A and B are shown apart, each in its own frame.
Chain A
Amino acid sequence: MITVKINDREYQVEEGKTILEVAKEFGIDIPHYCYHPALSIAGNCRMCLVEVKGMPKPMTACSTRVSDGMEIYTDSEIVKEARKGVLEFILLDHPVDCPICDKSGECKLQDYYFKYSAQRSRYEFPKERHKVQKISKKIYLNPNRCVLCTRCVRFLSEITKTFELTTVERGSHTYITCVDPESLDNNPFASNISDICPVGALGLNEFRFKKRVWFTKKVKAICQGCSAGCNIYVDVSNRKQLLDGDDDEIVRIHTAENPKLGQYFICDEGRYSYKLYNDRESRVKVPVLEGEEITVENAVSLIKEKANVRKGVVILSPLHSIEENYAAYLFARERGFDVFRPSSFRKDLPEPALFIEEKKSPNDRMLKLMKLPKVSEIEEIDYDFALFLHNVGKIHSKSEVRILSVLKKSTFSVVFEPVLSEFGRNANLVLPAPIFIEENGCYINAKNLVQRSHKGVDYMYLSKPLWFFLDINFKSEEELLAVFAKEQLNIELDYNRLGTEGFEL
């Protein structure tokens, strides 16, 4: 550890880190465009210039490593002036077309210009113009808005190693171009370049002109697509003030970083999975008994009555959170019912396999850790009561067949799911389950990291968490997590302890 002074305050920091990394650690914001924690250092935007005592000129915080006794100023007159200068240069050739830019509202150029410059441009010459191009089926490129930070170029050359984008020409004529649109189409991680673009130069065709970002609510969640447990933001349309009725629709999924997981990007499969959750037609809106809609109260008392049997079974789901699963587990344990787990659906990995796992369920690991028997081990399928938890997504086809036969054979079967599936159609009672952004839920990923997915919107229709339907005496999801952790893992765990980066088992 060495000592550095940032803005006259002393900090103990690790040697070998850069000024920007150190400052970030202590919550000191140094503006930057080209720096990205997962990419190589380019040092080309010059936005992160800071003053280092004893140095004749301002230094780039992204590339300068801290040394013992270094005195850094991130807000001195020299720095302010440098930032203002750089911002003026960056905006020279920029169209300033914020009203029609999809990045507007979360654009670093907007934010920094507002915060660090806010001056009128002194540039009076015609601006250079390029055509907006769809460089892939998924992505468009607007070279006019580009600040040439080369994050996208570096992502495609360093992370996916596919080299689809490059800079061409020289000087102020430099622009980014796609050299292989076909490869970009087939690149399973390509859409990340729209996330890492600090301005509106790269965007998703799908999100183009779709939504002003300030009419969305960002929900920090865990991707439900596979057991990698990628951190994501789910942007939910939130226009209550305008009352135009598209509230709570998911408009996109994008990356939320988790340094503990080393995850700075997500796969396109996960990114575009949100459409599945917007299927309102097929949504189970109310409890349905044999095709008849019933009230929640009736459903609760009906389950109580029907579960008052000796031979019952509860089949958990790798597609549901710890909280939902453990509620079902506690319900089964109280009644001495059998508990089984289905196998996860598997899919071959793309090449290269980054932040993606073969098992296509977010919580496979929890059921494994509980050492539950698989559904293939069910011997007699004619139970008096059967409860199965299902979710958007798939489970292994062999498990599917097995579970369907259990549901069909059982005297009374209940399926808890948000979107009506074959399981619900074969059950006596279907319970409306919330989708993942409607509830707090924790998931254990393939690397044994417990992470929390946040509740962002209200329960839609009459959907409720399972512990409510099963009438288990809990006040919150968090309690269920604590009980699970205590009983199954012998640790104390609550949402606070999970923090933003999760808890490693």
Chain B
Amino acid sequence: MSEIVLFKHLIDPEVRNIENYIKLGGYEGLKKALSMNPDEIIEEVKRSNLRGRGGAGFPTGLKWSFMPKGEGQKYFVCNADEGEPGTFKDRYIMSENPHQLVEGMVIGGYAIGASVGYIYIRGEFEFVAKTVQKAIDEAYNQGFLGKNILDSGFDFDLYIHLGAGAYICGEETGLINSLEGKTGKPRLKPPFPAQYGVFGKPTTVNNVETIACVPDIIRRGADWFLTIGPDKNNGTKIFAVSGHVNNPGVFELPMGTPLREIIYEHAGGIIGGKKLKAVIPGGSSAPVLGPEHLDIPMDFDSLKKVGSMLGSGAIVVMSEDTCIVEAFTRLARFYAHESCGQCTPCREGTPWMYKIMKRIEDGNGKKGDVDLLLDICKNIMGRTICPLGDAAVLCIKGAIERFRDEFEYHIEHKKCMVDNKIPIF
């Protein structure tokens, strides 16, 4: 068994209780952190090569160092609006091992000088929020939250905010607007949240998994963290495997674990021993890969090299029985539905793409539709306020480029290439 950093419930199923968590070394990281100065913590996180687990893989320590120094209200926000199709990892950290997130929040808050933290949880996860709230209450009782934490003079209050179900609130500035009570529409950047965030104050937003890595990095040191995973992509990663596999689920594995190992060993291989057709390696926004990529190490840099991305680490496996057109029409609909409607290319482009794909899927596709789709992709890419437009393009363009023949077949024969197809989404 590999190193367990986040899924401590695999060691002790009752780790969601604070006593059990403390027994496993919980809140030791916080004690150590409070004895260090904030810059040392940031330095340690930088040294650990911890990168954002939400999708972009931005170095966490570097992000923290963008926060202005000195007095003044600052906020530390946890992005628990886990909405990327295929992704279901953060909810298990929160429901099974919530104290690790709470501890990470306090350490992060201390490092960046924030006295208030928010955990923005997607609306559908109300039951998860209850577990996290219980953990927060326990932490307050034990003096790990509130005024003068562990007699260090550091104050930190932690609140849960439930979203209302919009994917776009997973984008950090959309999340900030939603947190403020406004509609969840992303803001123009610059200014970045580190200058102008929640209520106009400097803010850092990190993903649940990222923050949950922090306590162990502090407790056991960056050098320990560096021993896990390949260079520059250190640590463990939770892979959420779904689709046509025998054993779908979440697996905490070292970064760089080969895709083949994840699918065939951990997820039990493909249903019915079928052949692999396609695999989305990092949530729906990551361009789709094919069987030739099975030996790729699952980490940020390796996936980038093949033109995809690790994203949230959500692996969607599609067997040979998948109709790609059907699968990606469903995803196109998702993006069209979740576009916030603020900026033109995404607002108008995503539903247009969906309509064309639906037409192809329904057997009404026209000659030239595929090129039209690619042209729309080109007109959206890089021209929107936030990355939702780009994500939609990466998803759809990736599928068209890899499986263009299947789209053309649909248009020409007005039917699917695959007999007895198995739906994926």
**Chain A residues packing against B (C-beta within 8 Å):** 41-47, 49, 56-58, 60, 63, 81-82, 85-86, 88-90, 92-93, 122-123, 125, 147-148, 167, 169-174
- The answer to whether A85 and B379 have CB atoms under 8 Å apart is yes
Stretch at the interface among B269-277, B318-326, B331-339, B395-403: B331-339
Which residues from B are CB-within-8-Å of A56? 382
**Using a CB-CB cutoff of 8 Å, which residues 343-365 of chain B contact chain A?**
343-345, 347-352, 355
Q: Which A residue sits closest to B355, measured CB to CB?
A: A125
A58, A81, A93, A170: the one contacting B340 at CB < 8 Å is A170
- The answer to whether B348 and A57 have CB atoms under 8 Å apart is no
A82-B383, A85-B378 given; A90·B348 CB < 8 A:
yes
> CA–CA, A86 to B381, complex, Å?
11
> CA–CA, A322 to B383, complex, Å?
52
> CA–CA, A49 to B338, complex, Å?
24
Which residues from A are CB-within-8-Å of B183? 167
Q: Does B166 contact A (CB under 8 A)?
A: yes
Q: Does B195 contact A (CB under 8 A)?
A: no
Q: Which B residue sits closest to A128, measured CB to CB?
A: B351
- The answer to whether B382 and A89 have CB atoms under 8 Å apart is no
Which residues from A are CB-within-8-Å of B355? 125
Which residues from B are CB-within-8-Å of A58? 382-383
Per CB-CB distance, the 7 closest pairs between chain A and chain B, nearest first, are A85-B379, A174-B341, A57-B382, A89-B348, A171-B339, A43-B188, A172-B351
**Using a CB-CB cutoff of 8 Å, which residues 286-307 of chain B contact chain A?**
none
- The answer to whether A43 and B344 have CB atoms under 8 Å apart is no
- The answer to whether B339 and A170 have CB atoms under 8 Å apart is yes
- The answer to whether B352 and A44 have CB atoms under 8 Å apart is no
Which residues from A are CB-within-8-Å of B22? none
- The answer to whether A45 and B344 have CB atoms under 8 Å apart is yes
Main secondary structure of the interface of B (DSSP, over half): helix
Main secondary structure of the interface of A (DSSP, over half): loop
**Using a CB-CB cutoff of 8 Å, which residues 180-233 of chain B contact chain A?**
183, 188
**Chain B residues packing against A (C-beta within 8 Å):** 166, 183, 188, 336-345, 347-352, 355, 372, 378-385
Which residues from B are CB-within-8-Å of A148? 341-342, 344, 347
A41-B188, A85-B379, A90-B348 given; A171·B343 CB < 8 A:
no
> CA–CA, A55 to B345, complex, Å?
19
> CA–CA, A92 to B354, complex, Å?
14
A58-B383, A122-B372 given; A172·B339 CB < 8 A:
yes
Minimum distance in angstroms from A374 CB to a CB of chain B: 51
Which residues from A are CB-within-8-Å of B378? 85
Which residues from A are CB-within-8-Å of B188? 41-43, 60, 63
- The answer to whether B344 and A89 have CB atoms under 8 Å apart is yes
Which residues from B are CB-within-8-Å of A89? 344-345, 347-349, 352, 379
Sampled A-B contacts (29; CB under 8 Å): A43-B188, A44-B342, A45-B344, A46-B343, A46-B384, A47-B344, A57-B382, A57-B383, A63-B188, A85-B345, A85-B379, A85-B380, A85-B383, A88-B379, A89-B344, A89-B347, A93-B348, A122-B372, A123-B352, A125-B352, A125-B355, A147-B344, A148-B342, A148-B347, A170-B338, A171-B350, A172-B347, A172-B351, A174-B342
Q: Which B residue sits closest to A58, measured CB to CB?
A: B383
> CA–CA, A44 to B336, complex, Å?
17
B338, B341, B343, B379: the one contacting A169 at CB < 8 Å is B341
Minimum distance in angstroms from B411 CB to a CB of chain A: 14
> CA–CA, A58 to B345, complex, Å?
13
Which residues from B are CB-within-8-Å of A41? 188
Q: Which B residue sits closest to A60, measured CB to CB?
A: B188
> CA–CA, A169 to B338, complex, Å?
11
Minimum distance in angstroms from A263 CB to a CB of chain B: 27
A44-B342, A63-B188, A122-B372 given; A174·B347 CB < 8 A:
yes
> CA–CA, A57 to B166, complex, Å?
27
Which residues from A are CB-within-8-Å of B379? 81-82, 85-86, 88-89
Minimum distance in angstroms from B379 CB to a CB of chain A: 3
- The answer to whether B337 and A171 have CB atoms under 8 Å apart is yes
Minimum distance in angstroms from A49 CB to a CB of chain B: 6
Minimum distance in angstroms from B423 CB to a CB of chain A: 24
A42, A81, A92, A170: the one contacting B348 at CB < 8 Å is A92
Minimum distance in angstroms from B253 CB to a CB of chain A: 32
> CA–CA, A174 to B346, complex, Å?
12
Which residues from B are CB-within-8-Å of A125? 352, 355
Minimum distance in angstroms from B371 CB to a CB of chain A: 10
